[in-house]
Every structure is written in C-alpha cells, then in structure tokens.
Structure 1
Amino acid sequence: MPNTDSLSAPLEIVHTDDLFLVLRKPSGLLAVPGRGEDKQDCLSTRVQQQHPEALVVHRLDMGTSGLVVMARSREAQRALSKAFAERAVHKRYVAVVDGLMAAPADSPDGWGRIDLPIIVDWARRPLRVIDAERGKPSVTRWQIQHHDRQRNTTRLLLEPVTGRSHQLRVHLQAIGHPIVGDALYATPAVAAGAGRLLLHACRLAFAHPLGGQWMQFESPPPF
C-alpha cells in the first residue's frame, strides 16, 4: 500500500467564506467519487458531510496532494468554473522528477515550456499520450528549484497553462523526466522511488467570485 498524507486525518480547511472553501487534499484520496462502492470515500464526500451545500469545481488526481476549491452555492460554482475554463486561475505545483534536468536555454526568468498535445489513450484508459495530430493543445511551464545529485532527482515548480487530465505527469514523462512515485507513467524503478506520487498543488489564486479581490492560498509540499 502506498504511503499517503494520513487519509484518516481530520479534514483540513485552509479557508472558508460564504462563497467557497479551500481545502488541502491528501495524497491517496480521490477528489470525487469513483465507480464502485469502494471508491465512494473522497474529498468532496468528506467535505459535504460538514458542508452539505459544497459543490465540486475542479479535481486533483488521487495521488496528487494539495489545494482544492469547492463552491458553496450554484452561483459561486458557475463563477469559479468559468474562471478555471478561461485560465483565470493561477495554479502552481511542486514535483520531484527523475534525473538531473538542465535549465532551459535562452530563458531570462528561468522558466521553461513544454508544448505537447495530449489525447486519451483509449486502449489503455485512463492513460494519456502525446499525439501531434489528434492531441489537444497542452502547455506546461517549469522552473528548477534544485537538484539532488545523490538521488538523481530534480525538484521543480510547475505551472499548467492548460488543464488537461494527467497533463503534468504526461509532459514530464514525455521529456524524459517522469515524476518520482508515478505508477502510471514512470518506470517501475522510478515509481518505487517514493511511497506516493511526488506532486503537490502548492498555490491557488483567483479573483473572489463576489468582490473580485485577488485571493491567494499556499500549501507547502509534504515531501
């Protein structure tokens, strides 16, 4: 069994007001219910036990930990969903990837860019693949935080410009640096390098759906 961020721990609410909640999802917990009775325990269900009005706005993969927002009214859900769809929500992640990545060439601010189209691999769902002809445009920004030469890994900051399922995981695997602990996209050796997927949603920022003021939330990675 993978090591998780203590799935039995109490629900962690980072922020609450009349319109939305910001929560910290542990690794190993589904964001929304899956198919089957064994997949009904999830973040949204746990939140709705305390806040029955809470509505899903977006998701994180089960293995990914970090910040998730849920709306507290239909109006807030529509406003926040529109902000996500229009790329008006700033999302940042921390990941530890296999190998020592080189800094991007000719980048004055140290941020690199992965621009590779992604499509569902229908024969191997839920896997996604890079497909130049049929894939949907997908862009990820990345910046090196530091190298761990002893473990042959690199810690990255990641900013998804688009929001495809598994985007960060697929993009990093495609450039030869899969995320450590990724059982879907990494080699068995890299997948076994950690007890969980080393991917964490560390920052979430957006305009408040009522007043419009800029709201920013942060959560340090637990790895």
Structure 2
Amino acid sequence: MRDLATLQVEEEMEGERLDVFISESLNELSRSLVQGLIREGQVLVAGKTAKPSYRVKIGDEVQVEVPRAQEIKIQPQDIPLPIIYQDEDVAVVDKPKGMVVHPAHGNWDKTMVNALLYHIRDLSGINGEIRPGIVHRLDKDTSGVMVVAKNDVAHRSLAEQIRVHSINREYIALVHGLLQENLGRIDAPIGRSPKDRKKMAVIKDGREAVSDYEVLQRYQEYTLVKVKLLTGRTHQIRVHFAYIQHPVVGDPLYGSKRKNLNLDSQALHAWRLGFNHPRSQEYMEFTSPVPQYLQDIITKKLNKSI
C-alpha cells in the first residue's frame, strides 16, 4: 500500500536537488529510499517524472507515492498559541521561542501544527498531513509572527507572494560586535555547506540571498539590528551575519562561543510581517512585540532600554 504526498516547493528550498527536497520535506524517508522511488517513477514533478538531480523551483508541485510503513496521525493538542488575527482564509500567529513548526523525527508532537489543529478548524492541505497550512517556517528557537493558510487558494496566493518577494518580513536580532554603518546590505549567495550538510553557507554557486539591515542600537560589544529579508533562504539571517563576522548572539550553529549572555539559542525574532490578503488583495501588516527574554538581556545585562 502507498500513500500520495503532495509537496509544494517553498522559496527556502528552491534550487535543492529533488531527492534532497523530498527527504527533508518527508523526514521519515531516507535520501537513498527517495532516490529509489524517483527511479521507479513514483515521483512526479508537475505531472512528469524527473531525475534525482533535478533542481526544484518555487511553485513546483511534487507528488510522491510513499510506501506505507506505519500510520502517522497528527493529533490536535491544547497548546497555547497566540493568534493575532484570523478570517476564513488566513490566520496570523505569534510563534513562541522553542516551538517546532511542524512534526518531524524527534518532534512528532507538541509542535505548532499540533496547536493549529486544536485552535483552528480548517487548514490548507497542499503540504500534506504533517504540514497543514504551513506556507513558510521559522526555526525552532526563532520567535515571532507567521501567516498560516486556511485553504488551498490562500496557500497558493501566499506562496506566490513569497516567490516574487512581495511579502514584507522584518526581524530583530542581537549580533556580536559593532556594525559600523547605520544601514547596510548583505548580498551573498547561500547553499548547503560542502563541509556539513546540516548547515547552510555562503557559497559561490548558491542561490541569491539578500538581507538589508538597519542599526537600532549599539552597545559595548553588541549591536541590535532590524533586518529585512529580500529573499528567504534557510537560516539566511544567521548565515549572513556570521559571514560578515557579526554572528547572532547565542546561535549554536553559526555563532561565536564568546560572551553569549547565557543564551543557548539565537537572539532572533520575526518582528513584522506584511502581505496582500489572498481574497481582497488588501495589504495587511502585523507585528510581534520583542520577546521578554531579549528585553531582559538588553535592560538587565546591557543596561539599556529597548
């Protein structure tokens, strides 16, 4: 018996090999198993077979005939989840720090999806049972505002806005060192690190990645910045600021171990999100307050107000 999984390529995965995209989207499948499914014709991209090395594009619809091993049923769970706004098409949520967005190996429950299934009646089905409604993601330890699609029409509209870079995404980050310029742009391509496949890196043949930043406050050894994403690569802000030698404070993957202010995860917060409503096309914008842990660091450890 096989189940059909339909996956939509999001911006952060654009340019990945087909086999890598599927194995990372369907965490229960190894890359070697995925390669076998592709060769057997069990994978279709836009209705056609493709090679494992095919580079996926934003908007590609990938269908996978997945062997049925054990049934995975994602259960609704009564987990607190601040919902800033919702209507019949979209919901805007304020994701807490430490919450995984969707189920995967090691995190089959207590995710944002489990909470969404409890608090919201309808969610889009484009990304399958494990990722209902999920149009974009935040890392587990990045807090802040996210939009969720409640039907497939809304999902496709939001995905298209992400593809053409019309969604406004702004973050607040505390980084090491003192940035000299008040305004700056980091324009450096990002792809999988050739040294560590679990990490991203600035590489010559990577995908275009552009981040604009504005200095909000300088402290003795740190800088508080507002960052606007012009593209949406995996770990983009964390990789870009590590690349210019100003890593995000507390970042366990790309950061410096120097004076992390007792943080064990990155000081990064999705502060503002703006998009055109899928039905009315009205521009809507939402913000999430700077989280308490970051306010405490700035006011108590850096002796400044935010």
TM bin (shorter chain) = 0.7 to 0.9
Q: Which residue of 1 is the match for residue 269 of structure 2?
A: 200
Which of these residues, 102, 114, 118, is aligned with residue 45 of structure 1? 114
| Distance in 2 separating the partners of 1:193 and 1:82 | 40
Residues 45, 122 of structure 1: alpha-carbon distance in 2 compared, 3 angstrom cutoff? farther
Amino acid at match of 1:117: P
Q: Which residue of 2 is the match for residue 70 of structure 1?
A: 148
| Distance in 2 separating the partners of 1:40 and 1:181 | 26
Amino acid at match of 2:165: R
Which of these residues, 11, 20, 38, is aligned with residue 81 of structure 2? 11
Structure number with higher strand proportion: 1
TM-fit CA distance, 1:22: 0.3
Q: Which residue of 1 is the match for residue 211 of structure 2?
A: 140
Amino acid at match of 2:210: V
Higher relative contact order (CA 8 A, sep 6+): 1
Note if 1:161 corresponds to 2:161.
Answer: no
Q: Identical aligned pairs, as a percentage?
A: 33
| Distance in 2 separating the partners of 1:129 and 1:208 | 33
Q: Which residue of 2 is the match for residue 188 of structure 1?
A: 257
- 1:164 aligns to what SS in structure 2? coil
| Distance in 2 separating the partners of 1:147 and 1:123 | 33
Note if 1:213 corresponds to 2:291.
Answer: no
- 1:188 aligns to what SS in structure 2? coil
Of the two, which has the highest radius of gyration?
Answer: 2
Q: Which residue of 2 is the match for residue 106 of structure 1?
A: none
| Distance in 2 separating the partners of 1:189 and 1:28 | 22
TM-fit CA distance, 1:193: 4.2
Amino acid at match of 1:127: K
TM-score, length basis structure 1: 0.87
Which of these residues, 136, 158, 161, is aligned with residue 80 of structure 1? 158
Residues 221, 209 of structure 1: alpha-carbon distance in 2 compared, 3 angstrom cutoff? same
Q: Which residue of 1 is the match for residue 99 of structure 2?
A: 29
Note if 1:60 corresponds to 2:60.
Answer: no
| Distance in 2 separating the partners of 1:25 and 1:190 | 27
TM-fit CA distance, 1:52: 4.0
- 1:209 aligns to what SS in structure 2? coil
Contact persistence 2:79–2:115 (CA under 8 A): no
Amino acid at match of 1:14: I
Amino acid at match of 1:141: D
Amino acid at match of 2:217: H
Greater alpha carbon shift after TM alignment, 113-122 vs 20-29: 113-122
- 2:154 aligns to what SS in structure 1? helix
TM-fit CA distance, 1:45: 1.9
Q: Which residue of 2 is the match for residue 107 of structure 1?
A: none
> Displaced runs of 4+ in structure 1, greater than 3 A?
190-193
Note if 1:97 corresponds to 2:167.
Answer: no
Unmatched tracts of structure 2, length 5 or more:
1-77, 124-132, 295-306
For the aligned residues, what is the CA RMSD? 1.7
TM-score, length basis structure 2: 0.64
| Distance in 2 separating the partners of 1:50 and 1:163 | 28
Contact persistence 2:95–2:112 (CA under 8 A): yes
